[in-house]
Amino acid sequence: MEKNRIIHGLSLCSFKILRIMKLTIFLMLISFIGVFASETYSQTTKLSLKVEKMSLEEFLIEIENQSEFRFFYAGKIDVNKKVSGEYKNEEITEILDDIKVKAGIKYEVMGRQIVLSPIDKDKVIKSLQQQKSISGRVKDVSGEPLPGVAVVINGTTKGTITDMDGNYTIPNVSGETVLVFSFVGMKKQKIVVGNQSNINIILEPDAIALDEVVAIGYGTVKKSDLTGAVTSVGSEEIAAFPTTNIVQALQGRSSGVVVKQNSGSPGDAISVRIRGTNSIQGGNEPLYVIDGFPSSSSKPTVLDNSNIESIEVLKDASSVAIYGSRGANGVVLITTKKGKAGKPTVSYDASVGFQSLRKKLDMMNATEYASFYNLQRVNDGLSPYFSDEEINTLGEGFDWQDFVFSTSPIQSHAITVCGGNDKTKFSIMGNMFNQDGIIEGSGYGRYSITANIDQKLSDKITVNYSSTLAKTKLDNKNWGGERFGASLISAALCAPPSLTAYNDDGSCRVLRTAYPFVSEGLTNPVNYINEISDVRKSNEILANINFIYKPIKDLTVKIHGGIENSDDRNDYYKTVKYVDSQGYASIGSYQSTSYLNENTINYEKSIGKHDFSVLGGFTYQNFKTTSIGGSGSGFLSDNTKTGNLSSASIPGIPSSGYTKSVILSGLGRLNYVYDNRYLVTVNMRADGSSKYSKGSKWGYFPSGAIAWKIKEENFMQDVEEISNLKLRASYGVTGSQAISAYATLNNLYSGKTVFGDALNTTFAPGSRLPGDLKWETTTQYDVGVDLGIMNNRYNFSIDYYHKRTDDLLNTVSLPLSSGFSSTIKNIGVIQNQGLELSFDGNLLQGDFSWDMDGNISFNKSKVKELYGGKDIYGGWQDMLVIADNLTLLREGEPMSVFYGYLKNGYDDEGFEAYKDLNTDGVIDENDKTIIGDPNADFVYALNSHMSFKCFELSLFFQGSQGNDIANIGAVGNNITYGYGTNQLEEVYTDHWTPENTNAKYPKITREQKMQFSDRQIEDGSYLRLRDIQFAYNLPLSVLNSSCFEKIKIYFSAQNYLTITKYSGWDPEVNSLGGSSSIAQGIDHYSYPTAKTLTFGINVTFK
């Protein structure tokens, strides 16, 4: 016994604990744990043992030794009673049945736990056996009541189904009864009744629910009936960690979607490319459709992550073609959280995070800096600037990176109230998001209120209303680019470590005159941080109203009206303390409004094996923007800021602008399903746009798709391993509104010139020659296979697509002597093709559950045709020593490859040398070649979610492979030595000298002559642990359970692990990114991406 105690300490411990545990708590625990209990253990475990007159206690320990069973007491049991018996390969129940009479016990098996209780002696046990009525409510994880859930007494056919509000009642059950809750698409749950009379259950979605309904344009469809390539991203993934913009949360969540942060600046733009870049002239951002409203914005800023119910990414032509002229870049459908019938639920989600610079660059310290520039001066025939004594006193010096970047908070709060009955459903959400940037003074904040109301007026008429009001504020400190310290971010690397930010008297140090060899552009970062404020405040509204009328059973008429409005105001003020400033203030105010009216009729009918639905409609949307701006310079005091422009000594010229464009459309769709096996979709949209020339205003965008559910065929019925197999193919045409309003009109632009010290207004044509233009069209085909195995526990999808954009709108350069620099023409062809694979699976089930999903996307772009076969240059960057176009479009090459010289070691003097590709003896334009490709070979993501009892661990990896980055900013910090900029430490240790001719960096001289070459091209591949999250779901036993339904606390870290060879701050960089930019992958002193530690809590109230 003594020995056993030691060896089996754990089981004895459970005895001990049990003795001091109240039965009620125990039963609560059981019901809680029961959720996770594995039913089969007791049936599959076979035991063999032989005992003779062994005490009950020793007998139980013996069983614990042989198995994972653990025994618990309920009531007083005489553990010294002797038992005997011989068992061979018998189930635990058989063994216990054999001894229970002798021992005077009853038992209950709950997974691996077995509860023993004395026969007939304990009142509690009696109560367990008492017949009683059980009632409760079933909800899904989002708190929505689930009607139609089967509640069955285990092992019987007795049971009931939950009503509209998810409520059920089962009479005549005993405490020993096990209730089984099941619902299509949800994980089955078993619960021991115990002494409860009210059991509320939350059913979790099954790994993959094929009956899930996904949004498509102008409707929804069962996931199993999809004919196109559509990815659905759920609310949990979107809200996994706080991001400024919901689009950032899409990164890595869907195959074929590349999300690039242009910089780490809070609120900065994001580039999204779905299946490659299609357009040179126009935007390449997808169309965002928020609750049915096709947004005019290239980034949906109005919403908060927690508002999102789901996001669907439509990728292939048949899914996007219903959006016709705006679908060429893919469509992102965003659905906000809707109310649900049932008792109102209130939830509160909050997180607080701390962001910091992900990595610091190793720069020279003050001693090295001084020695370095002495060396430069000696090499250039000048006398050293710093004396030895000075150098000896410098030491490490001042760390400008530490000065500019700091740890800063990010916080997010969301309150969601949902509820309703069968007539009215509502949801109200309040959100607060606040992010301070890692550069002091920068930040982004958003307060928003979202409401959705759905009211049934009669059996035939429903009205629903959704609106979001958001107030955002952007404090901009995103001044990058420039050269040699002439911008905030550039100065953080270029400023001499031998100088501090402030003079001894506390005033801001002027850096440009500190040493004779520093660049006149070098500006103390203090100027930007303290002396410029650039604030953009925005009020955004998105409101939709729908009248849904169902005159007869299968017919739905829907009239949708919507307004999207954004009122922005930008206040910029540069103080008189800013270097070379006498104060400058400007205010810009912008209003953009879009009205939408959509009218659709949908008819659905099933006749025998034929199911079809027909959609038809027409829509009108207009877009109007107005702007007004004023400015002034020369202020007596900084007190007025932007509050009193009229006090400026030099008033600026007021400005205003106006544009309006209209799209008028007709659309139609036919879905036809035969015998749930063959599916056909045909779409048609006609769009008329005011932006195009007369006679070319209308564009027609047809598409079609077929799908074959092979699994539904008879010959597949016996293949049990495969639970889903579907083949899809689609083809279609979409368009792009690549031009801005009035681009085809021959208009005059106003300007100013001076006569007699006064400004005079001038009128002249612009630099772009207008011309007749028509739509650019993208033709895409897609073939895909969906496979599900083991009852859809594992799912795979593969898609191949081919896109070709014709009539590409293209800026065609004109000879400058024409007085115009360019015109736009419909000339050019781009092709994108690619492969997308995605996988999800439930690797482990039971107590320890492990889900995993991942995707990988390959895209290859090719410029097929350009105007006159001529190259198009782009990505102009001016680093003074190198001023060139970095990118190029050339027929036969991928989109916007990097173009420059190939480095060829050093010449005899230690200057950088370049390859003479045409061997004509001179290095000139003709020796340029393609030196890099900013397009990734593939991007990928892997998401793992593990849970064990109350604990959850999520890992989200995301990466990009084979993309190059042109690190043009580095020119100022590793190869240009003539402007007094600080350099990478390795330049100091490894530069050309007559003894070290094979050095990494050239000779230290200000005389270098250099070109844009493959020295500036770096491998931008990375693998990033974008998020790791550890969460703990508080067991409700420790809470006042009448108040809380769920409490989850978590701790997560973003961007803490990044594997990359890229030498800059961060490989996720896109300095020239923008909605229409084709110059990707350029790093020119961008606001670096931060890493973040986040703590959060999710609470659902009862």
Which residue lies nearer to other proteins by CB, 29 or 378?
Answer: 378
Query: 193-232: which residues touch other proteins (CB under 8 A)?
Result: none
557 contacts other proteins (rule: CB under 8 A): yes
> Closer to other proteins at the Cβ: 163 or 907?
907
Compute the least distance from the CB of residue 521 to other proteins, in Å.
Answer: 8
Q: For residues 746 and 996, which CB has a smaller minimum distance to other proteins in the complex?
A: 746
Burial (CB < 10 A; 0-12, 13-18, 19+), residue 839, is middle
Q: Which of 579, 843, 955, 1036: binder of other proteins (CB under 8 A)?
A: 579
Backbone angles phi, psi at 714, to 5 degrees: -60, -40
Of these, 459, 505, 721, 757, which contacts other proteins (CB under 8 A)?
757
Q: How many CB atoms lie within 10 A of CB 31?
A: 17
DSSP H helices, 45-134, are 56-66, 92-103, 123-129
Amino acid, res. 589: S
From CA 225, how far away is CA 211, in angstroms rounded? 9
Report the residue number, 537 or 577, with the smaller CB distance to other proteins.
Answer: 577
Residues 6+ apart with CB under 8 A from 281: 738, 739, 776, 808, 809, 810, 811, 824, 1076
Rounded to whole angstroms, what are the CA distances from 997 to 127, 740, 908, 994?
91, 54, 8, 6
Contact mark string toward other proteins, 900..939, x via CB under 8 A: -------------------------x--------------
> Does 749 engage in binding with other proteins (CB under 8 A)?
yes
Spatial contact of 929 and 950, defined as CB atoms under 8 Å apart:
no
Quote the least distance from Cβ 778 to other proteins, whole Å. Answer: 22
Angstrom distance (rounded) from CA 690 to CA 624? 12
Tell me whether residue 22 or residue 1009 sits nearer to other proteins (CB atom): 1009
The size of the interface with other proteins (CB under 8 A), counted in residues, is: 81
Q: Which CB, 715 or 755, lies closer to other proteins?
A: 755
Instruction: Please identify which residue in 816, 950, 1043, 1059 interacts with other proteins, judged by CB under 8 A.
Output: 816
Q: Is 767 in the site for other proteins (CB under 8 A)?
A: yes
Among residues 2, 52, 580, 721, the one that binds other proteins under rule CB under 8 A? 580
Residue 702, CB-side half-sphere exposure with 13 Å CA sphere: 2
Of 157 and 817, which CB lies nearer to other proteins in the complex structure?
817
- Closer to other proteins by Cβ: residue 167 or 821: 821
Q: Pick the closer one to other proteins by CB: 676 or 762.
A: 762
**In degrees rounded to 5, what are phi and psi of residue 815?**
-60, 135
DSSP summary character for residue 681: E
Residue 417's closest CA among 471, 470, 351, 342? Answer: 342
What is the footprint of other proteins within residues 727-746 (CB under 8 A)? 741-742, 744-746
Q: Is 625 in the site for other proteins (CB under 8 A)?
A: no
- How many CB atoms neighbour CB 449 within 10 A? 15
**Which residues in 867-906 contact other proteins (CB under 8 A)?**
870, 880-881, 883-884
Binding segment for other proteins (CB under 8 A), chosen from 41-49, 343-351, 416-424, 752-760, is: 752-760
Kindly give the interhelix angle for 92-103 and 56-66, rounded to the nearest 10 degrees. 170
Choosing from 727, 785, 814, 946, the residue that interacts with other proteins (CB under 8 A) is 814
Q: Report the site for other proteins in 524-553 (rule: CB under 8 A).
A: 549, 551-552
User: Residues 156, 817, 998, 1042: which binds other proteins (CB under 8 A)?
Assistant: 817
Interface region with other proteins, contact rule CB under 8 A, candidates 444-452, 810-818, 956-964, 1073-1081:
810-818
Owner of token pair 């021991």: 192
CB 999 within 8 Å of CB 908: no
Q: Is 520 in the site for other proteins (CB under 8 A)?
A: yes
Q: How near is the Cβ of 1002 to other proteins at its closest, in Å? A: 17
Pick the closer one to other proteins by CB: 183 or 692.
Answer: 692
> Is 516 among the residues that bind other proteins (CB under 8 A)?
yes
- Can you tell me which residue has the tokens 């979607």? 257
Of 978, 979, 995, 894, which Cα lies nearest the Cα of 936? 894
Q: Which of 751, 848, 905, 1043 binds other proteins (CB under 8 A)?
A: 751
Which of 285, 265, 266 is CA-nearest to residue 1077?
A: 285
Nearer to other proteins, 9 or 765 (CB): 765
- Does the protein bind other proteins through residue 459 (CB under 8 A)? no
Should residue 957 be labelled a site residue for other proteins when binding is judged by CB under 8 A? no
- At closest approach, how far in Å is the CB of 389 from other proteins? 21
Question: How do beta strands 287-290 and 331-336 pair?
Answer: parallel
d(CA 243, CA 474) in angstroms, rounded, equals 14
CA distance 26 to 334: 45
| Residue 561 DSSP symbol | E
Shortest distance in whole angstroms from residue 675 CB to other proteins: 28
Asked whether position 1059 contacts other proteins by CB under 8 A, the answer is: no
Q: Exposed, middle or buried by CB within 10 Å (0-12, 13-18, 19+), for 568?
A: middle
Which element (helix H / strand E) includes 305?
Answer: none
* Burial class of residue 156, CB neighbours in 10 A (0-12, 13-18, 19+): exposed
Comparing CB distances to other proteins, the nearer of 635 and 858 is 635
Phi and psi of 730, rounded to 5°? -145, 160
618 binds other proteins (CB under 8 A): yes
Work out which of 348, 620, 1051, 1095 binds other proteins, going by CB under 8 A: 620
Smallest distance, other proteins to C-beta of residue 878, A: 8
Q: Which is nearer to other proteins, 608 or 868 (CB)?
A: 868
**Nearer to other proteins by C-beta: 555 or 680?**
555
Structural contact between residues 823 and 807, judged by C-beta atoms closer than 8 angstroms: no
Which residues are registered as beta bridge partners of 940?
856, 959
Sign of the torsion formed by the C-alpha atoms of 17, 18, 21 and 24:
positive
Q: Check residue 994 for interaction with other proteins (CB under 8 A).
A: no
In the bound state with other proteins, the residue whose beta carbon lies nearer, of 340 and 512, is 512
The contacts of residue 916 (CB under 8 Å, 6+ apart) are 904, 922, 923, 927
How many Å apart are CA 182 and CA 174, to the nearest integer? Answer: 20
563 binds other proteins (CB under 8 A): no
The yes or no reply on residue 587 touching other proteins (CB under 8 A) is no
Site for other proteins in 668-707 (CB under 8 A): 688-691, 697
Q: Is 658 in the site for other proteins (CB under 8 A)?
A: yes
Q: Which is nearer to other proteins, 84 or 747 (CB)?
A: 747
3-state secondary structure 471-514: EEEEECCCCCCCCCCCCHHHHHHHCCCCCCCECCCCCECCCCCC
Q: Which of 382, 457, 1043, 1057 binds other proteins (CB under 8 A)?
A: 382
Using the rule CB under 8 A, which residue among 67, 196, 297, 659 binds other proteins?
Answer: 659
In 10 A of CB 692, how many CB atoms? Answer: 22
**What one-character-per-residue DSSP string does 592-621 give?**
EEEEEEEEEEEEEEEETTEEEEEEEEEEEE
Pick one of 1011, 1054, 1071, 1098: the residue that binds other proteins (CB under 8 A): 1011
The reply on whether position 653 binds other proteins by CB under 8 A is yes
State yes or no: residue 287 binds other proteins (CB under 8 A): no
Nearer to other proteins, 362 or 520 (CB): 520
* Closest to 299 in 3D by CA, of 327, 337, 259: 259
| CB 975, min distance to other proteins, A | 15
The least CB distance from residue 1003 to other proteins, in Å, is 17
Contact (CB, 8 A) for 189 and 151: no
Q: Give yes or no for residue 771 binding other proteins (CB under 8 A).
A: no
